[in-house]
Amino acid sequence: MRIYGPGATTLGSPAQATRRVGGSGFSLPDATGTTETRAATAPKAIGGIDALLAMQGVEDATERRKRSVRRGQSALDVLDDLKVTLLGGTLDGTTVARLRAAAAELAESSGDSGLDAVLGEIDLRVQVELAKTGQR
């Protein structure tokens, strides 16, 4: 693109003059051909909305297990923070509140008996620490 002077632009080559073919008005081509009209129909659904909603409600066992592992790790992190604050001599209310929230999250079952046993042990330790702080 070249710019020739203020506000002038061209795109590569100069524009060719428009050629007018006789006649001074605008006209449409003849519409003598038949036009085919079709009735509007709704698109066909692949599956009903009920099936889609049911599929969203189905929870995968691996996803439930991953969520349970994350809750267990979160509870262990809070227990570790509690240990650090107790060793530092300052017990704040936010750590205790996080410990209570972790205890509430550990109540759900993961569906795996081994993982549920480990989460039960973590829950027991959380409950012991809450009892020690008097926040049960």
- Tell me whether residue 109 is in a domain: yes
Q: Indicate the pTM of the whole model.
A: 0.52
pLDDT mean across residues, the chain: 76
- Tell me whether residue 18 is in a domain: no
Domain that holds residue 123: 61-133
pLDDT digits (tens, 9 = 90+) for 6-40: 765 555 555 555 565 556 677 776 666 556 667 67
Amino acid symbol at 34: T
- Tell me whether residue 48 is in a domain: no
Give me 17's structure tokens.
């003059």
Give the Cα-Cα-Cα angle 92, 96, 101 (nearest 5 degrees). Answer: 145
SS3 state of residue 10: strand
Contact 43, 90 (CB under 8 A): no
Give the Cα-Cα-Cα angle 8, 9, 13 (nearest 5 degrees). Answer: 130
d(CA 107, CA 82): 20
- Tell me whether residue 98 is in a domain: yes
pLDDT digits (tens, 9 = 90+) for 91-116: 888 888 888 888 888 877 777 788 88
- Tell me whether residue 103 is in a domain: yes
Quote the number of domains for the chain: 1
> What kind and span of H or E run contains 2?
strand 2-3
- Tell me whether residue 38 is in a domain: no
